[in-house]
Structure 1
Amino acid sequence: MRFEIVGGGAIGLLYGARLALAGYPVTIWTRTRKQAELLSDEGIELVAGGTIHTIDVSASPITECSRPVERTSEHKVLLITVKQPQLTAVLLEYIRLIAEEGDIVVGLQNGVGHIESIQHSLPGRIVLAGVTTEGALRHGLRTVEHTGEGVLSIGEYRSTSLTEASGDELLSQSDRMIRESRQKMLMNALSKAGIAIELSNEMNNRVYQKLLVNAVINPLTALFDVRNGELVHHPARLSLMKALHEETLSVLTASGMDDDGTSWDRLLQVCDRTSGNISSMLSDVRAGRLTEIEWINGGVCRLADDAGVNASLNRSVMHMVQAMFKS
């Protein structure tokens, strides 16, 4: 089994390094030639547990992928680790050249809408949703620090609007057995690489649960310019967190998420466990990059419109984050 990782950010480098350390062939597909050359020449530098590892990987700029990747006898897995703003139609066309029919493709984006886009663009591939709670921080173009242990959950994501497009209902028993076999191979490979992994039959729930956390923490840390843990120690911010959580929870449960009554406690636990972390949205704001607000809180607003429920607070924080950038 070989791994093609689309995106040279923190999660892409973290998983690429760990898989390569376990002996699997890994290619990192980067946005820039500069990063690809650096990774090819010097490898990934992984900082974990007080130890620094240098791991050799292959790397290429994805924009130079002009023809289908040569077929091999090895099963191929693509991990798409770019953020939602980078998951464009143009990028998906490049990914079509890398992913053959029957290959596993895992979308690891925050927010909602990405799996549907991947399914539409990559018919015949085994498209899985992925949700990770790993902590990682990239330093420069080739160095990644593993800042917190977590779990990677993967599984099939069901969208009623994509039943016809995905064709899952037309799979023969033989095809489904092949899918299940390749998923088990993937699970074994990730486990061998030391990645805590679970195959979930409830990925819609997992995606919504992560969306709930991101819809509260990301925009508020970006707006107040604070680390995750600082949100809960300010009474007014804590009150705003609570209101945003309640509204988002009502939208997601109306959209089909199971509510077990513990989501607020889980949110507080995430703030505590990642208290020193700078959220990805705050990092993007500080760097002047396009944020994922349109796919996180904007995604909540679209779900609310579909379900006919209120999402005025989500809409407000989305507009405020968008207003932080010059038009």
Structure 2
Amino acid sequence: MEGGDVLVIGAGALGTLIGYAVIKSLDSLDILVRDVSKVENILERGCRASISGDEYIYRPRPVTWDTLDKRYNIIFICTKAYDIPKFIDKLSKAIDESTILVSIQNGIGSLELLKSRYQYNDIYGAVISYGAVKRGTCDTILTGYGEIVIEKGGYSSIIRDILEPTLKVSIVDDIYSYRWLKTLVNAGINPVTVIFNDRNGVVIENRYAWEIASKAVEEGLKVVNALGITLPRDPLNELYDIAYRTRDNYSSMYQDVLRGCETEIDYINGAIVEYGEKYNIDTPVNKYLVLTVKGLSIWRR
């Protein structure tokens, strides 16, 4: 594959990490950011990834939606889930019918939207369990090791080969089961850290926090069962395990609320509520968490 054939959308913690993995495998990389100030920042400083105490600097070509000038072989979409409806039509400027899209978002809804809008493209869902914290524009620190799980398909091995020299990658038959598992875990951890104003460890260290988190997960499991999805692991065990392993981390939702930014609550707990209503399953804890996080987000702004 020739240099410049790959685009990463988003220069946050995830986009910076994926960009680093891509550019280690390929000759070059384009990274799409929202505005010109971020372009200037990347041109001046490059992108930075801190991994195991070592600082890595790489220099992709920064572009914006207004300056896109080519169509790409592969696009890694590394934005927040709520960003996708905002740019889904603009995405047509960067793709043709042969473009491969890789969607790495939390929650349920964004991948479905992409597949509905671009039905003739190969679109792969992916779930990431690496921990990364944004330090600035295209500047991230890796805080926890995990893996990227990618949907099986005709081009999934190509995606794996690009990422795997740097990141651990697994290919699975049913990405939806992994997406729902992570959604349930996020539904338990993320909003609870917002409410308790604490790190992920509060979920297992505070019995009241655990009760809220576990009930949110149990409601989500009822929805998953109604959908006929078999999860790859027990979600309550996964909730405890992830909360323990990331106990010193602040959830992305917590960080978003602190910065006065939009959150992914509608794609996580909101998705559980939405599907619960569709299948006549009561989800009172998840409804409470959606309303509370939205209220706190507005108050913080």
Is the TM-score greater than 0.5? yes
Q: CA shift at 1:23, angstroms?
A: 3.2
Q: CA shift at 1:77, angstroms?
A: 1.0
> Which residue does 2:138 correspond to in 1?
142
> Which residue does 2:243 correspond to in 1?
271
* 1:202-281 superposed matches below 5 A: 202-259=174-231, 262-281=234-253
Q: CA shift at 1:261, angstroms?
A: 6.6
> Which has the greater radius of gyration?
1
Report if aligned partners of 2:8, 2:75 keep a CA contact under 8 Å in 1: yes
Report if aligned partners of 1:46, 1:54 keep a CA contact under 8 Å in 2: yes
CA 1:55–1:260: 2 relative to 1, 3 Å:
closer
Partner Cα distance (1:112, 1:311) in 2? 16
Cα distance per residue 1:78-97 (max 9 Å; x no partner): 11111122112x41122111
CA 1:272–1:24: 2 relative to 1, 3 Å:
farther
* 1:47-66 superposed matches below 5 A: 47-65=50-68
CA 1:260–1:147: 2 relative to 1, 3 Å:
closer
Partner Cα distance (2:288, 2:139) in 1? 36
* 1:1-327 superposed matches below 5 A: 1=1, 2-65=5-68, 69-70=69-70, 76-88=73-85, 90-155=86-151, 180=154, 182-192=155-165, 194-259=166-231, 262-324=234-296, 325-326=298-299
Give secondary structure in 2 for the equivalent of 1:123.
coil
Give secondary structure in 2 for the equivalent of 1:150.
coil
Partner Cα distance (1:21, 1:188) in 2? 11
Partner Cα distance (1:144, 1:261) in 2? 29
Code of the aligned partner of 1:99:
I
CA 1:142–1:260: 2 relative to 1, 3 Å:
closer
Q: CA shift at 1:284, angstroms?
A: 0.8
Report if aligned partners of 1:3, 1:24 keep a CA contact under 8 Å in 2: no
Give secondary structure in 2 for the equivalent of 1:119.
helix
Report if aligned partners of 2:178, 2:231 keep a CA contact under 8 Å in 1: no
Code of the aligned partner of 2:117:
S
Partner Cα distance (1:220, 1:230) in 2? 8
Give secondary structure in 1 for the equivalent of 2:267.
coil
Deviation beyond 4 Å, 4+ runs, structure 1: none
Q: CA shift at 1:260, angstroms?
A: 6.3
* Structure 2 residue runs without a partner (length 5+): none
Q: CA shift at 1:267, angstroms?
A: 0.9
Q: TM-score, normalised by structure 2?
A: 0.93
Q: CA shift at 1:309, angstroms?
A: 1.1
Partner Cα distance (2:160, 2:211) in 1? 41
* Structure 1 residue runs without a partner (length 5+): 157-178
Cα distance per residue 1:184-208 (max 9 Å; x no partner): 222212223x211111111110110
Identical positions, percent: 23
Report if aligned partners of 2:272, 2:283 keep a CA contact under 8 Å in 1: yes
> Which residue does 1:175 correspond to in 2?
none
Cα distance per residue 1:147-199 (max 9 Å; x no partner): 1111111116xxxxxxxxxxxxxxxxxxxxxx61x33222212223x211111
Code of the aligned partner of 1:308:
N
Q: TM-score, normalised by structure 1?
A: 0.86
Deviates further, 200-209 or 20-29: 20-29
Q: CA shift at 1:119, angstroms?
A: 1.3
CA 1:93–1:289: 2 relative to 1, 3 Å:
same
Deviates further, 116-125 or 260-269: 260-269
Give secondary structure in 1 for the equivalent of 2:238.
helix
